[in-house]
Amino acid sequence: MNVFEEVRAFYGAYRGEKRVIGYSEEGREIYAMLAGSASANCGIAQYAIHAREYITALLALEHARLGVRTGGVWIVPLVNPDGALLVETGPSSLSPARRALVRSLNGSDDFSLWKANAEGVDLNLNFDARWGSGAGNLRRPAPAGYIGKAPLSAKESRALAEFTLAVRPKFTVSWHTKGEEIYWEFHQLRTRRRDRKYAEVLSRATGYPLVTVKNSAGGYKDWCIEKLGIPAFTVETGADEARHPLGRDALIPIVAHDLDALVMLTEAFG
């Protein structure tokens, strides 16, 4: 069973509130499941927005199984299903036209380092937060780094943004690999002390340090901080010495570090 099939099966059996928030460029569903209650303190946790980081989708299912004790969090386990399948199973997972496109962009059938969606858009650079101003941003489709034609031009990033605006979360957490560190800053001034307080909760929960990243823009975390004014975090899970894509054998140590993170964060939000 590939990662999309696993997420789809879990979603089908999930007994809590759930919904399809949109569709990928190839027409695959993007699922969301509510752990806890949709209270005033509800958050969003999103996973696998980068194709080669699809192991985080399996972490999402562990988070959904565990649930939370107070408040709630919408879990979006697989934001980039087309890209994840491309990395995990190869270009045969795509329609013929997109198969030819990704092969031309990648230069080979080794897609282990592919981050983008099926159109060559790096979804975590496609949000309206100083879009296009990051170091290494590209203006053409590529395995990684392409910002898209305009903010939210990709179906997947647009679906996540529209869902976020509908939910109006109190916080968001984006799960990536790798490096075992947490990013929490994006030019905020007035809310900096508040945001760091919650970032430190995540740090205690995972054991990962807080770090600063410069010359980055257009990410989902960035958009949540700058446009919505809420605390937002990127957690880079998985040992830095591991190679992309992290295989399923990496899930056990990842879960050991990160399983309680959403429980602790929702409790901090009361």
pLDDT in tens, 51-101: 999 999 999 999 999 999 999 999 999 999 999 999 999 999 999 999 999
CA distance 27 to 137: 27
Share of the chain above pLDDT 70, in %: 100
Q: What confidence category does residue 39 fall into, taking pLDDT thresholds of 50, 70 and 90?
A: confident
How does pLDDT run across 208-231, given as a tens digit for each residue? 999 998 889 999 999 999 999 999
Domain ranges of the chain: 3-268
How does pLDDT run across 98-111, given as a tens digit for each residue? 999 999 999 999 99
CA distance 173 to 104: 33
Q: Which pair of tokens denotes residue 54?
A: 């699809």
pLDDT at 156: 99
pLDDT at 129: 98
**Interior angle at CA 21, CA 248 and CA 49, nearest 5:** 40
pLDDT at 40: 80
CA 117 to chain centre: 13
Q: What confidence category does residue 118 fall into, taking pLDDT thresholds of 50, 70 and 90?
A: very high
**Backbone phi and psi for residue 135, each to the nearest 5 degrees, phi listed first:** -65, 135
Residues with Cβ < 8 Å from 97, sequence gap 6 or more?
none
pTM here is: 0.97
Element housing 3 (H / E): helix 3-13
CA distance 73 to 33: 8
CA 254 to chain centre: 15
Q: Which pair of tokens denotes residue 102?
A: 């990704």
pLDDT at 79: 99
Q: Say which CATH class 3-268 falls into.
A: alpha beta
